Amino acid sequence: MTNRETFQFKTEVKQLLDLIVNSLYSNREIFLRELISNASDAIDKLRFKAQTNPEILGDDTEFKIKIIPDKKNRTIEVADNGIGMTKDEVIENLGTIAQSGTAAFIEAMEQADKEKGELPELIGQFGVGFYSAFIAADRVTVITKAAGSDQAVKWESSGDGSYTIEDVHKEGRGTRVILHLRENREGEDEEDFTDEFTIRRIVKKHSDFVAYPIVMDVERDEPVPESEAILDKDGKPVEGQTRKVVKEETLNSMKAIWLKNKDEVTEEEHNEFYRHLSHDWNPPLSHLHMKLEGVIEYVALLYIPSKAPFDLFRPERRHGISLYCKRVFIMDDCQELFPEYLRFVRGVVDAPDLNLNVSREILQQDAVVRNIRKNLVKRVLSHLAGLDAEKYETFWNEFGAILKEGVYTDIENREKLADLLRYRSTGSEGRLISLKDYVAGMKPDQETIYYITGDDITSLANHPHLERLKEKGYDVLLMADPVDEWVVQALTEYDGKKLKSAEKGDLELDKVDEKKKGEYEKLFLHIKSVLDDHIKEVRPSTRLKDSVACLSGDQYDMSAYMEKILKASGHKLPENKRILEVNLEHPYMI
């Protein structure tokens, strides 16, 4: 009697599988990397659990990932002795997609450059690696037994909307993923994934750094030992006798490149390792490899990506740092080691003094971790400061908006972060300048750094509020990113110079002529009485030259842009009346 049950995939999985099954691929081999990476994760999880519960390992302590090709039946299997899954976990992990990025994935998938083989890469990036099995297979079977359980389960699907689950027998814990390979389609690569040398090449290329041996049985001709050899008529062994033997070979080098000497790691290795970590097919913009010895010890190999991932601004975005202790994986997505505003950095931190039993809660309070974090942040910031201008601009365009968050969240490093800021300005002709550049270019009589915020650089540059500043030849920083509103609240000074909004408060450019002001008092009172519901005050303008009037804010008022941002994000704001400024020099007024 069979206990097989049929389940429907969740809608988003159905959608995803539909796309995967019906696409053509020029680079299908990536599925193997994804399955190996899952196997490696499963062993990591088991080892981590065994730190507190060593019995869980039993006598199966030799961790490995085995690839088993079968030419005759056209299958390839990836087997591990990791943590395995219970029936509930199978349903949860292989029937749904935990991440909320599916919609974004499908969108990206539709836009991907199919010629360049970007499709399979996306699968890894979006954390839906398991389903990549359907790139190469028309049926996938998973047989798995959770560590500490006596019951194994079999999951099977043809990627067509449903899957089956049944209880089965399996020796030992861990997971076997069996792909029933489909025929190659026209227009696809023509790889034979059961071929030994194809498999070797793929493993070497994508999974060389995996920390566990990836093994495969290979058949070789071996000289027959003398004792078993056929003898000639003189009783001597016939020469050149061979026999077939099957040997398990390890296909990956497992080298932890972060532990190598800095100058022994080639650029090629960096690129591969970065790709292995990030699933990003663009080479990194730069890397930072360091070894700290002394009171706190750690090795870190960090990469600055050259392109922002699609989900950088999503709240559930994972951090890019994996934490190790003497090559033993502790956790990925290690938020404790880096502040939010450096979440774009990818890499590995290996700290020998860490306690392997740490949990996330403990990590936060751990003095070693806090020290490492402090040091890492400093090193990353000075690394960024040392990038050449061209690289820095690439970096800034991709990640500047994120780095800016640090200005208001990391008081300790605020000055360093201020040095890293870049803006366009009215005088910079489209170039990005630093605050240092700005200060160096200040006019002799200029005491203040002027800026204006808004959502469009061009309209900011032509804003009437800047008329007088332009006339005086003062440069104005154009801040066209919502986050800048928070930056200028935190960063009130740079190099001893105050930052001042060109649309708020008195610009203090010239003394207002009090006599003249008196002459207009009646008119101002009249305007105010007419527009009382809309404006707070009428004042002679200190910022206009060609325009007759403008609205501005008081020094401590919210800027117009901030108001817009907050309203757009659904905040209910009390009415914020603006000041009507009148240009007393304007022909209309004279």
| Contacting positions for Mg ion (CB under 5 A) | 38, 129
Our CB check for ligand ADP shows the closer of 82 and 159 to be 82
CA-based nearest residue to 4, from 154, 134, 121: 154
Q: Where are the alpha helices (DSSP H) in 171-223?
A: 196-207
Number of residues written out for the chain: 590
* Least CB distance to ligand ADP at residue 282 (A): 20
DSSP state of 312: T
Q: Tokens standing for 385? A: 């400061």
- Name which of residues 157 to 176 contact ligand ADP (CB under 6 A): 175
Contact between residue 253 and residue 215 where contact means Cβ atoms under 8 Å apart: no
Bridge partners of residue 143, in order along the sequence = 154, 176
Task: With contacts defined by CB under 6 A, name the span among 78-86, 266-274, 404-412, 531-539 that binds ligand ADP.
Answer: 78-86
* Least CB distance to Mg ion at residue 33 (A): 9
- Name which of residues 94 to 123 contact ligand ADP (CB under 6 A): 94
- Cα angle: 135, vertex 114, 128; to 5 degrees: 40
User: Residue 65 binds which entry of ligand ADP, Mg ion, none, with Cβ cut-offs from 5 to 8 Å by kind?
Assistant: none
User: Residue 42 binds which entry of ligand ADP, Mg ion, none, with Cβ cut-offs from 5 to 8 Å by kind?
Assistant: ligand ADP
Classify strands 242-250 and 152-157 as parallel, antiparallel or unpaired: unpaired
Q: Tokens standing for 321? A: 């740092």
* Least CB distance to ligand ADP at residue 345 (A): 20
Bridge partners of residue 70, in order along the sequence = 75
Question: Binding to ligand ADP by residue 494, rule CB under 6 A?
Answer: no
Among 30, 38, 44, 420, binds ligand ADP (CB under 6 A): 38
Our CB check for Mg ion shows the closer of 38 and 413 to be 38
* Least CB distance to Mg ion at residue 404 (A): 32
As a whole number of angstroms, the distance between CA 297 and CA 245 comes to 47
Q: Is 511 helix (H, G, I), strand (E, B) or coil?
A: coil
Residue nearest to ligand ADP according to CB distances in the complex: 129
Q: Is 151 helix (H, G, I), strand (E, B) or coil?
A: coil
Question: Binding to ligand ADP by residue 44, rule CB under 6 A?
Answer: no
Count of residues interacting with ligand ADP (CB under 6 A): 17
As a whole number of angstroms, the distance between CA 542 and CA 505 comes to 9
Question: Binding to ligand ADP by residue 82, rule CB under 6 A?
Answer: yes
- Cα angle: 523, vertex 525, 528; to 5 degrees: 110
Neighbour-count burial of 210, counting CB atoms closer than 10 A to its CB (0-12 exposed, 13-18 middle, 19+ buried): buried
Among 93, 96, 306, 409, binds ligand ADP (CB under 6 A): 93
Contact between residue 580 and residue 538 where contact means Cβ atoms under 8 Å apart: yes
Among 20, 42, 165, 418, binds ligand ADP (CB under 6 A): 42
Contact letters (x/-) for ligand ADP, 130-149, by CB under 6 A?
x-------------------
As a whole number of angstroms, the distance between CA 14 and CA 8 comes to 9
* Least CB distance to ligand ADP at residue 248 (A): 19
* Least CB distance to ligand ADP at residue 436 (A): 42
- Give the torsion through C-alpha atoms of 60, 65, 68, 74, to 10 deg: 130
Our CB check for ligand ADP shows the closer of 97 and 407 to be 97
Our CB check for Mg ion shows the closer of 129 and 305 to be 129
User: Residue 427 binds which entry of ligand ADP, Mg ion, none, with Cβ cut-offs from 5 to 8 Å by kind?
Assistant: none
As a whole number of angstroms, the distance between CA 60 and CA 306 comes to 42
Q: Tokens standing for 300? A: 């870190």
Q: Tokens standing for 288? A: 């930072």
Q: Tokens standing for 192? A: 């034979």
Question: Binding to ligand ADP by residue 542, rule CB under 6 A?
Answer: no
Our CB check for ligand ADP shows the closer of 39 and 351 to be 39
Task: With contacts defined by CB under 6 A, name the span among 31-39, 114-122, 265-273, 373-381 that binds ligand ADP.
Answer: 31-39
Question: Binding to ligand ADP by residue 128, rule CB under 6 A?
Answer: yes
User: Residue 271 binds which entry of ligand ADP, Mg ion, none, with Cβ cut-offs from 5 to 8 Å by kind?
Assistant: none
* Least CB distance to Mg ion at residue 129 (A): 3
Among 17, 85, 133, 420, binds ligand ADP (CB under 6 A): 85
Residue with tokens 């303008």, as numbered in its chain: 541
Q: What are phi and psi of 566, to 5 degrees?
A: -65, -40
Contact letters (x/-) for ligand ADP, 227-266, by CB under 6 A?
----------------------------------------
Contact between residue 161 and residue 315 where contact means Cβ atoms under 8 Å apart: no
Binding residues (CB under 6 A) for ligand ADP: these are 34, 38-39, 41-42, 80, 82-85, 93-94, 127-130, 175
